[in-house]
Structure 1
Amino acid sequence: MITVEDVEAAAERITGHVVRTPTVPSPGLSALLGAPVTTKLELLQRTGSFKARGATAKLLALDEAERAAGVVAVSGGNHGIAVAVMAGALDIRATVVMPRSAPGRAVELAEAAGASVVLADGMDAAFALVDELRLKGLTLVHPFDDPVVIAAQGTVGLEFAEDAGELTDVLVSIGGGGLIAGVATALRARRPGVRIWGVETEGARAMSAALAVGGPVPVELSSIVSTLSAPSASPLTYEHVGALVTDVLTVTDAEAVRGTLDLAEHAKVWAEPAAGCLLPAARRVLERVGADARLGLVVCGGNATTTDVAAWAKDFGLR
């Protein structure tokens, strides 16, 4: 497992390349949930999500031969954008493999940054194609199964610990688990008493499935939330979550979209359903721990279009 010293080293490495995003109390969310809420606004990060941190750290760690050969990434959206943009900034050639279900906006942004984007029939096929490209000499920038990436994502937790007021419970979305593994490492070191909760959607339960059977297993993906749709957790992320996270909660896609609308109305931020899922989960946390809780929410990204959210809201009958 990584250590807080690894996270601190990652913070030093990526300083100047990424944004120290705002940590702010949210009166609107506090009123909505009935408990004090502080938000870590990673949707204001470069590339629109926390993924810029891990991508930057990995790209900066490449040797000259690896930089010259180029990199490959597999992504449901945000990781691909981050690798494309940060690789372009560092003059490194990047290939990004995405499932056809990835948001069209993510494909457009990755291509606009200069990456070569390849679409595959689902995440399993995307990971398989990446394995083929690695055999051609490209270095993999994995979205979560890499200690360098996890340590850099942990800088979110380091900043949260330094900038937030009192917190009792912090909620973090889970795809493959890289963000929560890093955040939990930093928070457990800096604020040992804080409880950390993971949140997944029911159609992308990679970590919940792993915890249920004692290790990572493939899961069938059906969630609209492509940015959380990892085909499985990894042994590395599973180990961190099992050791450091209080519990992993699951919400429906409809609840995640409703959360996106609530974030826009009450927090005045335009987030994606991968962040919207935190609000229904926060209500469940409050039911379990009591009204004296002081919540922290890692608002992980904002790369969803108004058209996408409106369509999902219509499909789920939300107003």
Structure 2
Amino acid sequence: MTLSSSLIGLPEITAAAERIAGHVVRTPTVESPGLSALLGVPVTAKLELLQRTGSFKARGATAKLLSLTPEERAAGVVAVSGGNHGIAVAEMAAALGIDAAVVMPESASSRTVAACRATGSDVRLTPDIAGAFALAAELQAAGRTMVHPFDDPIVVAAQGTVGLELADDAGELTDVLVSIGGGGLISGVAAALRARRPDVRIWGVETTGAEAMSAAITAGGPTPVALSSIVTSLSAPSAARLTYEHVTALVTDILVVPDAEAVRGTLDLAAHAKLWTEPAAGCLVPAARRILDRVGPGARLGLVVCGGNATFADVGAWADRFGVRD
């Protein structure tokens, strides 16, 4: 398979792995008897919810922060986030002694806002995610370095270390499922898996109302989208050209899951896999059922369980709202 020279390659991903080693966790890759019984095929889970800060985002944030020059470190950084990226930048910047400003939409959970403020970061709230990106751009123009959640080759390469570890640690897999917000995680994971396990199919999963990558594919390039999903950690206002190119080149297809099914999947992961996740990971379970309908019962699935930063109150309220509580 010949890939574009603009795509992240194995050398960049392995270099990122060396850079962030000792700063982040090599998370477990485990077979899940519970999910295997639920779905009727062997399932392996990559447990990024056990990562520092509760999600894979610590990888990209750490790699970017470690790449800064002394002058950039002194000027500080800015990040825009619906949740997990902000927590990761805030915590990892504090650990490295770098001043951070984190801009979030007002829809961000109170837990997320509190977690960022607890690190000493300057947290700014805006009415929506588009406003958050606009304010972050102003702070960048004033001298801070932007730690973008997905539109940065350094970040994408670091997120690719998830795929590198999965390729090294998992048994035989036919299909790997990865959640998509702006596309940084799936871009890196797909680049790593295509290099290490070229026959594996890679599937992206979005939630209804957070469909930046699906919209980009339909439009032939990144385009702004209206956001309405409860899954704020997947709610990017648009994909990036960088991630769009990776997904179109490397990903088999994208499935879109309604919020209600994502919440139901979160409860399934708790009941059957004994994992407390957020709907950004829960959406993988209903998507897996659809994929199995397409590829047949001989599949061996890998699920990248991207994060666990949801409270019991959050999930309970969503379950009641959508009528999916057991």
TM-score by length of 1: 1.00
1:81-117 deviations in whole A, cap 9, x for unaligned? 0000000000000000000001111111111111110
Map residues 1-319 of structure 1 onto 2, 5 A cutoff.
Answer: 1-319=7-325
SS in 2 for 1:282: helix
SS in 1 for 2:297: coil
**Rounded Cα–Cα distance in structure 1 between residues aligned with 2:41 and 2:141:** 51
**Rounded Cα–Cα distance in structure 1 between residues aligned with 2:160 and 2:133:** 24
* % identical aligned pairs: 75
**Rounded Cα–Cα distance in structure 2 between residues aligned with 1:317 and 1:139:** 43
How far 1:202 moved relative to its partner?
A: 0.9
How far 1:170 moved relative to its partner?
A: 0.1
Partner residue of 2:3? none
**Rounded Cα–Cα distance in structure 2 between residues aligned with 1:286 and 1:318:** 22
SS in 2 for 1:196: strand
**Rounded Cα–Cα distance in structure 2 between residues aligned with 1:103 and 1:315:** 17
**Rounded Cα–Cα distance in structure 1 between residues aligned with 2:111 and 2:295:** 39
**Rounded Cα–Cα distance in structure 2 between residues aligned with 1:154 and 1:104:** 30
**Rounded Cα–Cα distance in structure 1 between residues aligned with 2:28 and 2:149:** 23
1:3-48 deviations in whole A, cap 9, x for unaligned? 1110000000000000000000000000000110000000000000
SS in 2 for 1:39: strand
**Rounded Cα–Cα distance in structure 2 between residues aligned with 1:276 and 1:72:** 29
Q: Which amino acid aligns with 1:2?
A: I
**Rounded Cα–Cα distance in structure 2 between residues aligned with 1:35 and 1:116:** 46
**Rounded Cα–Cα distance in structure 2 between residues aligned with 1:110 and 1:237:** 26
Q: Which amino acid aligns with 1:66?
A: E
**Rounded Cα–Cα distance in structure 2 between residues aligned with 1:276 and 1:113:** 28
SS in 1 for 2:287: helix
The gaps in structure 2 that reach 5 residues or longer are 1-6
Which 4+ residue blocks in structure 1 deviate beyond 2 angstroms?
A: none
SS in 2 for 1:21: coil
Q: Which amino acid aligns with 1:165?
A: G
Q: Which amino acid aligns with 1:64?
A: P
**Rounded Cα–Cα distance in structure 2 between residues aligned with 1:108 and 1:292:** 45
How far 1:308 moved relative to its partner?
A: 0.3
**Rounded Cα–Cα distance in structure 2 between residues aligned with 1:161 and 1:112:** 35
1:234-265 deviations in whole A, cap 9, x for unaligned? 00000000000000000000000000000000
How far 1:159 moved relative to its partner?
A: 0.1
Q: Which amino acid aligns with 1:166?
A: E
Q: Which amino acid aligns with 1:85?
A: E
How far 1:135 moved relative to its partner?
A: 1.2
RMSD in angstroms over aligned alpha carbons? 0.4
1:185-244 deviations in whole A, cap 9, x for unaligned? 000000000000000001100000001111000000000000000000000000000000
**Rounded Cα–Cα distance in structure 1 between residues aligned with 2:273 and 2:120:** 34
